Chains A and B, each alone.
Chain A
């Protein structure tokens, strides 16, 4: 797809953050650690959190004489993702060496891809306040991660630094968007949509805090309607959705102010400092690295057969967009509810499990979206998996409402009690005697009692003040500690009132 074909928004960036005349041009580079068992070019484990340098071998330590061997599974994950974001997979692609000196990089070059990436020319549709937008994907390529420097104390005061190579060689997938994003909200929406796909495909755990998903941004401003791009600035170190949005908002303001005062924007890399909520200059492009890329001679070109791609295409799971559509059709969810319910694979799976066999999936959706999301964030897989109320437990609770055992109001209390104790709904309802009273003779006595003690209200009702009925229902509920069936109480009142 060409850049021209991308739908350009006509509107301005958020007026509160930017003075009217500017439009932001944003592109994101996302690095995703692939969930392969072993590293990109050797057999070492990729598990996170092991003691330093215990998951290394001569290859990932860059020992003399060692050679890389491509992890087929990592390539498969790359192809899977490429297909999911509508990229063309290059039949002939190649690894290249990217050179720069840094102690966390064992060979002082990174095996990456340059002129011949694994896949190119894709797109991803995102939902914004103004509807759907199609964001172009420039390329997707594979590379190896670097190690980590461990300083004694802070970088400034440390007497020495140690290197941990456990992460060195972990497979990374870099996905570069076209400069199609126009606001920080769109950038966040794009990142969320991309993350959801990676997690749906089970190729990356999507954990931004642990660094298994990282995002850098390129951002420039230009006068609205201008065709030329402004000078771009690269922003790094944004390790959450919120940080991405805040950093971009800050940078839009900073650049707008600079342009207003006629200052020249310097092409540079800036670091987002979340504590001080600003970006600081890291290095200017005047001192930019010359990476001296050249084709990796230790690896033959990667020949991706069409049959292999087809086989992988056949294993693609249902992706967020398709699932959203299905939720709208099959469960009659509103577009908004379907969007939220599919915002992560974990949440969508949770909903579908809870809705299994339900006569009223819409009710289940309401419970998930209103109550469950009160306690877990929609895109936090770990929290959803660890939620004390499992889909089966929620199903049990909703079942109690549907068979009339408890009222919806009582159910919310039961929900909170389940959350606190981890017990099942049935157990709590039985122990605390919360079963709904629907017996007309039992409730008839209470209704009679209420009617006799509130003669004035009865008069009002008879005089045409229909709202008085609600008060009377409330009184019956109060008498029964909320256990009375509202439907039965209503019917009884409507039966008895005309007779008085």
Chain B
């Protein structure tokens, strides 16, 4: 079954002639046709385009000149990325029908590598949420238990990889939106260092926190996709000019003598005992592989969530001001004047969570409140970063749970604050701009995946991937697949 293969395995078959990109693409399209009605990962499918792209890739393999290791590989994109001529909604009614005239830089880089685009994946509206329940269109299901959420906001991207509805996908992570769904769906998901990957064409939620990253079926695939999309982009002034290392080379190195930090503040009351046990087990495995574990302290962790919920909504309130009915997307007719047009359009176009955050952010930036909220939150942000910097003077990576618990049931978390608490272990990493990866570290007795988070130094994704690869090779978790066909 081609859809079960990793990107590397698939590429090997393309090169040997055992399979073609068209066959793989058709296999994925068939599987999407059969299972997407259950999982609901895709918002938009681009079957015709995918088959055309695959046919071109076939020709390249026939003439033995593939573009890259990703050539002909069917991938999916979170609907947050602009795709030329392909509807891009960001999970919102306000962008329904919007067809961007340009490709996001990461999309352009995937295309240049020959990847085949299967479609656009569901997400919480404007990436605000942890379950895809804030999608304006529908909720994606967790492939391990269809009554549960896949996590969010990149829930569609995580579910698609977990259910073999794409070989790899891209998501974005502002406060945990890659790592938390990766944990819930039992895939590998990596949020790179802020500035490692271009944000050009990524529809902004919170500009100083947003970062693009890959989901893969295993660590090597994740590294390969990162390799393809990383690097400076002249169109993004915040993208770093630091050279991109060879991630594949890092994977084969051992972790003997590597120092692993265990943050005291991440093993707190409220942490699911099954999650804690799995993460402690993972630490033991890493020690067995030669790493040295030691505890570290990140004392400002508890303030991270509060600072995040000032900074992210403040930036969002600004970024979302452009959706006004004038230029693109929704315009509610019948307005008396321009202010009325704004009110009607934004009133109808935005969902409840988006409105809540726009109001929060507008308030936080108001004259007289700026210093008390936005200004103070930025100071907390600096303190959180310093915590990490101090810890990284002693350790190479920090290992912690990705989330306090596992995937919850649809509709179970109605209180927004309860929902926000999901991200308590992922948010500090965004505030500090650091890279973080989530990968499976076991399953609960109910068969739900548990996520292990590996946090690295700025621009040191290579070390994270090395640790992740060593752990993956030593554990059986990636062999397990959700059984969707039976149900």
A residues near B (Cβ < 8 Å) are 58, 61-70, 97, 99, 101, 103, 106-109, 163, 290-294, 297-300
Contact = CB atoms under 8 A, between A and B. Distances in A.
A405 to B, nearest CB: 64
Contacts of B206: 297
Contact of B327 (A61, A68, A101, A291): A61
Contact of A67 (B100, B101, B235): B235
A103 B318 contact: no
A66 B233 CA distance: 13
A64 B199 contact: no
Nearest to B101: A58
Nearest to B346: A101
A293 B362 CA distance: 11
A70 B365 CA distance: 24
Given A108-B321, A297-B315, A292 B328 contact: no
Given A65-B200, A65-B203, A300-B237, A294 B318 contact: yes
A292 B367 contact: yes
B322 A106 contact: yes
Nearest to B342: A101
A69 B365 contact: no
A181 to B, nearest CB: 28
A3 B102 CA distance: 51
B366 A58 contact: no
Given A294-B370, A297-B207, A297-B208, A65 B318 contact: no
A161 to B, nearest CB: 8
B17 to A, nearest CB: 39
Contacts of B362: 292
Contacts of A293: 365, 370
Nearest to A298: B207
B82 interface: yes
Interface in B197-219: 199-204, 206-208
A67 B324 contact: no
B237 A290 contact: no
B359 interface: no
B235 A69 contact: yes
Contact of A99 (B202, B318, B374): B318
A109 B88 contact: no
Residue of B200, B208, B328 with most partner-chain A CB within 10 A: B200
A68 B324 CA distance: 20
Contact of A290 (B102, B321, B366): B366
B88 A294 contact: no
B200 A67 contact: yes
Contacts of B104: 65
Contact of A65 (B204, B208, B339, B374): B204
Q: Which 6 residue pairs spanning A and B have beta carbons closest together?
A: A108-B321, A297-B207, A292-B365, A297-B208, A65-B201, A64-B203
A81 B441 CA distance: 60
A298 B201 CA distance: 13
A103 B326 contact: yes
Nearest to B202: A65
5 contacts: A63-B100, A64-B322, A99-B318, A292-B362, A293-B365
Contacts of B366: 290, 292
Given A64-B203, A298-B237, A298-B238, A107 B321 contact: yes
A293 to B, nearest CB: 8
Nearest to B126: A64
Contacts of B236: 67, 69
Nearest to B98: A64
Given A58-B102, A300-B237, A64 B315 contact: no
Contacts of A101: 321, 324, 339, 342
Contacts of B315: 294, 297
Contact of A64 (B90, B339, B374): B90
A290 B315 CA distance: 16
A66 B95 CA distance: 15
B123 to A, nearest CB: 14
A224 B217 CA distance: 79
Contacts of B314: 294
A279 B82 CA distance: 47
B338 interface: yes
B170 to A, nearest CB: 13
A103 B338 contact: yes
B321 A64 contact: no
Given A297-B207, A298-B237, A108 B202 contact: no
B95 A64 contact: yes
A313 B104 CA distance: 39
B411 interface: no
B318 A109 contact: yes
Contact of A299 (B203, B237, B326, B367): B237
Residue of B95, B322, B366 with most partner-chain A CB within 10 A: B322
B172 to A, nearest CB: 11
Nearest to B80: A65
Nearest to A302: B237
A190 to B, nearest CB: 30
